[in-house]
Amino acid sequence: QVQLVQSGAEVKKTGASVTVSCMTSGYTFTTYGVTWVRQAPGQGLEWMGMISATNGYTSYALKYQDRVTLTTDTSTSTAYMQLRSLTSADTAVYYCARDYYGSGSFRIDSWGQGTLVTVSS
Amino acid sequence: QSALTQPASVSGSPGQSITISCTGTSADVGGYNYVSWYQHHPGKPPQLVIYDVRKRPSGVSSRFSGSRSGNTASLTVSRLQAEDEADYYCSSYTGTHKLVFGGGTKLTVL
């Protein structure tokens, strides 16, 4: 079955960077993309960006485009999200999810378990 | 890109039907057939319940249905059950591989 397993919780200092990994299995990694979404405490879901595992194309939300980098390692079917210059406002649960865009369809159909990133001074 | 507009909360009794709206613009909800809905129970990852406006993934109950009129999409949950109590989010493709979510709606089953 399709699985996305994320790395464990992180505690970071203000100004630091964090990298969250998302190891996938159960499907052909390069046929899909990976979307990253976060949820701050008491807030809703927020789209951060997506990366095509087919060709490495990336698209970022304007809010994050200067601070986030999405990458993939097709040899291990793993996606990575790096967020830099952390502030307390970046304290959130970060999700990776499998996305499919093509043939007149778009969907995000499988999600990782989420990774809590806590930023403190 | 501004978040899509959803009501903060809706409620219904078991067996009843509820509808959650998701209002955007012609640049997102009204411009693409790529509106999705997610059910999110606290502490768990979101689950896709509707995609491409009205398609239902395999394994999702037929009690969930989607529709759209103009720039407003809707999710209807029929025959409410206690397990339907959760947060629901809509999302829409906005072009050039970008996405926007709604603010979320808390569904309470009375």
Q: Taking all residues of chain B, what is their mean pLDDT, rounded to a whole number?
A: 96
Between A and B, how many residue pairs show a Cβ–Cβ distance under 8 A?
69
| Residue in B46, B89, B91 nearest the CB of A111 | B46
In the prediction, which pLDDT does A102 show? 84
In the prediction, which pLDDT does B98 show? 92
Q: Measured between beta carbons, which residues in chain B are less than 8 angstroms from residue A32? A: none
In the prediction, which pLDDT does A95 show? 98
CA distance B28 to chain A (A): 13
In the prediction, which pLDDT does B96 show? 84
Helix then strand then coil, % of chain B, to nearest 5: 5, 50, 45
In the prediction, which pLDDT does A13 show? 97
In the prediction, which pLDDT does B95 show? 85
- With a cut of 50, which residues of chain A have pLDDT below it? none
Q: Measured between beta carbons, which residues in chain A are less than 8 angstroms from residue B52? A: 104-107
CA distances from A33 to A49, A70, A100 (A): 11, 11, 6
In the prediction, which pLDDT does A93 show? 98
CA distance A113 to chain B (A): 6
Judge whether residue B1 has pLDDT over 80: no
Q: Please classify residue A8 by burial: count the beta carbons closer than 10 Å to its beta carbon, then call 0-12 exposed, 13-18 middle and 19+ buried.
A: exposed
CA dihedral A76, A79, A85, A90 (to 10 degrees): -130
Amino acid at B107: L
Please give the Cα distance from B93 to B78 (Å, whole number). Answer: 26
Phi, psi of A90 (to 5 degrees): -90, 0
For B44, nearest residue in chain A (alpha carbons): A113
Cβ of A47 under 8 Å from any chain B Cβ? yes
Chain B residues within 8 A (CB-CB) of chain A?
A: 1, 3, 32-34, 36, 38, 40, 45-48, 51-52, 55, 57, 87, 89, 91, 93, 96-104
| Residue in B51, B89, B98 nearest the CB of A59 | B98
Closest alpha carbon to B85 in B6, B5, B18: B18
- Per-residue pLDDT tens over the stretch A38-54: 999 999 999 999 999 99
- Per-residue pLDDT tens over the stretch B21-44: 999 999 999 999 999 999 999 999
Judge whether residue B2 has pLDDT over 90: no
In the prediction, which pLDDT does A121 show? 83
